[in-house]
Structure 1
Amino acid sequence: MRYRNVNKIRIITFFVFLGLFAAAYQIGSMSNVTEEEANAFMAEFEELVLDIDAFGIFTHNLTLALPMFIPGFGVAWGLFSAWSTGFAFASIALTAPQIAEIHPLSILFLSPFGLMELVAYSLGISRSFILIRAVVKKIDLMPLLKPTLIEIGIVTGLLLAGGYLEFYMIELAQEQGLMNMPGFE
C-alpha cells in the first residue's frame, strides 16, 4: 500500500511541475522584447547553432537538464530555463513574424522533440523537489538514489532521441526551404 501511495505522489508531483514548466515558458514567451534585445539574442543564437548537429543539441539540452536534479536548486533552475526558453521564443517571434503566428505552447506539446524535452525537464525538476523535501524532512536519501539514477537515465534517453529528432526536423525544414524565411538566414 505504501508503494502505491509513493507512486501516486510521484506522478502528481511530475504533472504539477510539468504545468509549472509550461506556465513559466508561456510567461517568458509573453515578455516584451525590444528590437535590440531580439537582435542580440538572434546573433548569439545563430553563433550557437552555426555548426550544431544532433549530438550538439543533445549535449546542450543535457547540460540544462542535469542541474535540474540538484535538490532545491533544480526547481529554480528548471523554471528559469523554462522562462528563458519562452523569452527566446519571443525574441525569435519579433525577428521572424511568421513564428509569432505559432502558439508558443504548441511547440512544447505538439512537436515530438518539444514533448520529449518537456517530459525530461519535468522529471528533473520534480525529482529536485522530492529530494529537497526529503532533506528538509530529514528522510534518508539512500532509498531515493536508485529512482533518481533511473530518472537521470530516462532523461538522458529522452534528450538523446529528442536531439536527433529535432536535428532531423531542422534539416527537413531547411530542405523544404522553410528555414529561409526572414530571420532564419
Structure 2
Amino acid sequence: MDTNLLDFLEYHKIDKSDIMDAKGLSITEIKNKMKTNNILFAYNTTPCEKSGHTIRDRHSHCIVCNTAHIAFMKRTKATGYVYIAGSIIKNYIKIGMTTEDPIKRIGKLNSRKVGNTNDWIVIKAIKCDHVNMVEIDIQKALQKYKVEGEYYGDESIESVEIFRCKYNKALETVENYFRDKQINKKEEKTYLFNIEKYNNFRNIVNPKYL
C-alpha cells in the first residue's frame, strides 16, 4: 500500500482487514474473494470513469468519488437489532434494523411519520452480527408484499422497509432466515405479546409480482 492509500484508510477509519489488493484479478475473482472473506473494499481495481480512482466497494462503487458508500458498507458488519414493527392505522408491517435501542428507533420513526403514520409499535427484535445484511436479505424475502409510494415523512426518500402482510408472515420469514443461514441470535426480545390485531392484516401481493 502506498502512502496516499494508507492516509485515505486512516482518515476514513477503514481497517486493513476490510480491504484487499485486487491487482491481477478479474472482476469475478475480486467479487468472489471479497464475498468469501467478508472483505468490504478493494484497491488496484479498474479505474472509475469519473476520476480514475481504483478503490471500490463490494458493489463496484468508487468510494473516493462518493465516500458515503464507506459508511454504508461498514454498516454491513455492524452488530444490532433486526426488528418487526406494526402500524394499526395503515395495516403495515415494517422490517428494519438499528444499532440503538429498538424503542428509541421506533420513537424517531413516529416523529418523522415514516409511512405517513405515527403509530408504529415494535413487536419483536433480534440482535445479531452483520445486521444490515440480515435486514436487506429479509426484506428481499418479503418483497412481493412491499408497499411502494410511502416516504419518510416530508423527505423525498421512499421507504423500502414497509410491507402489507400479517405479523406471523413476517415472523415466519425472519425465523426461517435465521435458521436456514444458521445465524446466531445474540439476544431476542418480544415487546408486544397481544399480537392478534397485527395478524388481522391481509397478505397483499404487490401487482408487479403477480
Common fold by TM > 0.5:
no
Normalising by structure 1, what TM-score?
A: 0.24
Question: Hey, which of these two has a bigger chunk of helix by percent?
Answer: 1
Normalising by structure 2, what TM-score?
A: 0.22
Question: Hey, which of these two has a bigger chunk of strand by percent?
Answer: 2
Bigger relative contact order (CA 8 A; separation at least 6): 1
